[in-house]
Each structure stands twice: as structure tokens, then as C-alpha cells.
Amino acid sequence: MSALRIEGLRKLLGGRAVLDGLALDVPEGALVAILGASGSGKTTLLRLVCGFEEADAGTIALAGRVVSGPGLHVPAPARGVGYVPQEGALFPHLSVAGNVAFGLPRAGRRDVLRIGRLLELVGLPAGFAARSPQALSGGEQQRVALARALAPQPRLVLLDEPFSALDAGLRAETREAVAAALREAGATALFVTHDQAEALSLGDAVAVLRDGRVAQMADPVTLYRRPADAALARFVGEAVMLPGMATAGQAVCALGLLALAEGVPDGNVTLMLRPEQIRLVAETEADAVSGRVRSVVFHGHDARVDVVLAGGAEVAALVPGHACPAAGDAVWLAVRGPAVAYAP
């Protein structure tokens, strides 16, 4: 059974359709990332699922129970959905234990062992229960907010950009702890993010919002390697796009003759490669293409190298930091792995 099923969802804000015919099916126990540009309706989607706002059209069903539809709007407290807002939004006048227990029935709010188990589930010592939220780091506050959302044992947990306010090191540590806690709890979760690396590394599946709908929902590997169209390829990660001519499962372009990931009709195509597929090789390697380095962006462990090919086309290669050339160097390139082809 689906934990969440949405069909034909529509929401108008200021006369504009932020969501327009959106459909989404989330299986039980899945951790699904919602990815999209600013203003694509990511937070609006969560608010509609949670019941904070009413939809203008469409249906929302939780574990087979319709909670939003024509003439129906089940209020948020009756939906049994956990919600983790940005920056946690803990109650400053309550202790950590008080925050975690807030959503529990009155009798359960005194269950010290249960509160301790919830804290340990999110990677915090049970001894944190007596602390004030102000005494915690940003990452610890986010974990407390998750423990609070998990306390009533909801079938669905919604997280609205829960790591956006954290610095890079703390963000990585916190998101791994949160993902582990959600999986250990067996909860289904939907989390909104604008960080593509975060979506690809945490989600069992990633749904990309565009023009008020889900443009593609797939597992992270499929989404990255086989985007549904050229616009998605450019949005999800870096993409090298080149015109080419496809014939019998191969294509000729400025980088030579490339294998194609899937069969496409013969003719003009737009080819997509990821920068890490383009490697620097020796001049003597078969099928090597010559070029000159225009610029280098050094990241330490790797570097992005922008190369102008002999024919004038520009491509970007991702190379190990120790093998980084300098601007102006002559280089030779080769491609590993197939290209993805789209109609021009």
C-alpha cells in the first residue's frame, strides 16, 4: 500500500497555480526527496499534505485514507503526520524532554524511558532530556525536532529543508543521523531540499518539481544518469550538452564517436554527458580529442577543467586534484561510458 498518494493536486497562490495537476505515489517506508527550484511549490506541497492549507483541486490519501478531496479537508491534527520545519522551531520555554513529549497524549508525557529512547533513536544521549533547547547546537536542535515528530509514531514524516541553516560539516553529520533514525523507526518520509547532492545521497527516490508537477520521480542513480529530458539533465548536477548525429545506437559529436545509453531514432540529437565521464588522457590514446584548457576551478580533491576543443566546442571535465592541468595547457580528452541522447 502507498503511504501517500496524490492525484491531480492543484493550489493557487495569488492567482497563480503553484501546483497544477501534481501526482505523486510514495511507498511505505520510503525516504523521498522533493527537489525543485525556488518557487516550484515544494513547501506548499508539504503544507497541503500536512493539512496546514486546503487544496483547490485533487486528492491526497494517507495509507489509503482520503484526507483531502472535493468537499473534504481533514484538519492537520487528525491526519497523524509528523512535521519538522526549518530550523526545528523548538519551544524555548520547554526542556528537550518537554519538546519531545509535546505531541504525546498527556499520560505519555511523563514516560521518561520513552523520551530517552526517542533521543537515542536520533543519536542524542538520553541525558539531554533536561537541557534547554538554547543549550544545543543547531544540529542537535534538528534532531530533537525529529524526535518530537516521531514521538506519536506517525506513518508519514514531512521535513521542510531541515538542514538548510546548518554549516556544511554539521549538515552532513545531521542529515546522516536523521536518515538513519527515520529508517530505524520504519517511518515513511518526504523531505524538501534545494540541495541536489543532499537529495541524491539521502533519498530512496527523488521527485523533481517543475511547472507545478512532478517532472520525474526515480531512484537517485536513474535520475542522475538518465534524466527524462535535457532541462532535467541541466538541473540535476552538471551536464555537458553537445549537438550530435545518431546512427545505429552511436552518435558522432565534437568528442568523437560515442555509444548511446539507449536506442534513439537516427538523426540530429542533443547529447548529454556528465563532466566526470570526460577524462584527460595521453595524446597517443585511441580516439583522443585535442583541446586547450580555458579555465580551472580547483576544489582540492578534484577540479573542474573547462576545455575548448579544436573545433571550437567547449566542454567541462572533472579530474582528480592531483592531475589538475593549468589554464592554457594543451590536453587530450576521451569519454568513458555512454552518452544520453535527446531530441534537439
What is the 3-class SS of 152-184, one letter each residue?
Answer: CCCCEEEEECCCCCCCHHHHHHHHHHHHHHHHH
Which residues are bridge partners to 5 per DSSP?
A: 25, 61
The share of the chain scoring above pLDDT 90, in percent, equals 61
CA distances in angstroms from 242 to 40, 252, 311, 333, 344, listed in the order given: 28, 10, 12, 15, 10
Residue 96 clears pLDDT 70, i.e. is over it: yes
CB neighbours (10 Å) of residue 72? Answer: 12
Mean pLDDT of 295-300: 95
Signed CA dihedral, 192, 50, 22, 225: sign only: positive
Residue 279 clears pLDDT 70, i.e. is over it: yes
Which among 198, 163, 212 is positioned nearest to 23, based on CA atoms?
Answer: 212
Instruction: Describe the strand order of the beta sheet including 314-320 as a list of residue ranges.
Output: 278-281, 330-335, 289-298, 302-309, 314-320
- Residues in CB range of 105: below 8 A, 6 or more apart: none
Q: How many CA atoms lie within 13 A of 273 on its CB side?
A: 28
32 contacts 190 by C-beta, under 8 angstroms: yes
Residue 87 clears pLDDT 80, i.e. is over it: no
Instruction: Describe the strand order of the beta sheet including 72-73 as a list of residue ranges.
Output: 16-27, 2-13, 57-62, 65-69, 72-73
pLDDT tens-digit series, residues 244-263:
999 999 999 999 999 999 87
Residue with the bigger pLDDT between 127 and 59: it is 59
pLDDT tens-digit series, residues 155-189:
899 999 887 777 777 778 878 888 888 888 888 99
- Residues in CB range of 205: below 8 A, 6 or more apart: 30, 32, 33, 217, 218, 219, 220
Residue 108 clears pLDDT 70, i.e. is over it: no
∠ CA(122), CA(125), CA(129), 5° rounding?
Answer: 95
pLDDT at 111: 74
273 contacts 251 by C-beta, under 8 angstroms: no
pLDDT at 320: 94
Alpha carbon distance 223, 234 (integer Å): 12
CB neighbours (10 Å) of residue 75? Answer: 10
Mean pLDDT of 319-335: 94
> Minimum mean pLDDT among 52-66, 93-107, 185-199: which range?
93-107
Q: Average pLDDT over the chain, rounded to whole?
A: 91
Residue 293 clears pLDDT 90, i.e. is over it: yes
Residue 206 clears pLDDT 90, i.e. is over it: yes
- Residues in CB range of 191: below 8 A, 6 or more apart: 31, 32, 33, 34, 158, 159, 160, 161, 162, 202, 203
Residue 232 clears pLDDT 80, i.e. is over it: yes
Does the reported pTM lie above 0.85?
yes
Confidence at 70, pLDDT banded by 50, 70, 90: very high
Residue 107 clears pLDDT 70, i.e. is over it: no
Angle between the 168-185 and 138-150 helix axes, to the nearest 10 degrees? 20
pLDDT at 284: 85
Which among 98, 1, 81 is positioned nearest to 46, based on CA atoms?
Answer: 81
Q: Is 22 helix (H, G, I), strand (E, B) or coil?
A: strand
Residue 121 clears pLDDT 90, i.e. is over it: no
Residue 292 clears pLDDT 90, i.e. is over it: yes
Residue 133 clears pLDDT 80, i.e. is over it: yes
Confidence at 38, pLDDT banded by 50, 70, 90: confident
Confidence at 211, pLDDT banded by 50, 70, 90: very high
